[in-house]
């Protein structure tokens, strides 16, 4: 196997891995951006009570499926509002083009 074949295999593997990750995302990029922006603004004032209280309230206000939002953030280790900010990947990273993974 030459270098070009290895690179193609690596790119294909990363694209598949990326597709599997996106399968767990129940939000669009703009929705995820809005959620993270909302948490960035709300957490300093409201604090984290070690639940997804702010996240779930935001989902409800947006008319989104609360279970899909909860499942998405928990998949990335966001089991409370502050963990959502800390653990959920930035939308630009999460929704990047898998063929430009390098």
Extract the tokens encoding 61: 């206000």
Q: Counting runs of H as helices and runs of E as strands, what totals does the chain give?
A: 6, 0
**For residue 18, is pLDDT > 90?**
no
Per residue in 56-96, pLDDT tens? 999 999 999 999 999 999 999 999 999 999 999 888 787 77
pTM, to two decimals:
0.76
The C-alpha atoms of residue 7 and residue 68 are separated, in whole angstroms, by 35
Answer whether 63's CB lies under 8 Å from 75's CB.
no
Q: Could you identify the residue written with the tokens 């008319």?
A: 63
pLDDT, position 8: 75
pLDDT higher than threshold 80 for residue 40: yes
The answer to whether residue 24 scores a pLDDT higher than 80 is no
Q: Is the pLDDT of residue 29 over 70?
A: yes
Alpha-carbon gap, residue 14 to 99, rounded angstroms: 8
Q: Which pLDDT score is estimated for 66?
A: 94
């Amino acid at each position: 196997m030459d270098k070009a074949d290895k690179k193609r295999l690596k790119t294909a593997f990363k694209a598949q891995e990326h597709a599997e990750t996106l399968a767990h995302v129940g939000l669009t990029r703009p929705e995820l951006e809005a959620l993270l922006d909302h948490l960035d603004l709300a957490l300093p004032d409201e604090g984290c009570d070690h639940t997804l209280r702010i996240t779930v309230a935001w989902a409800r206000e947006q008319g989104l499926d609360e279970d899909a939002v909860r499942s998405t953030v928990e998949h990335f280790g966001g089991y409370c509002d502050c963990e959502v900010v800390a653990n959920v990947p930035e939308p630009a990273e999460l929704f990047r083009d898998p063929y430009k993974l390098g």
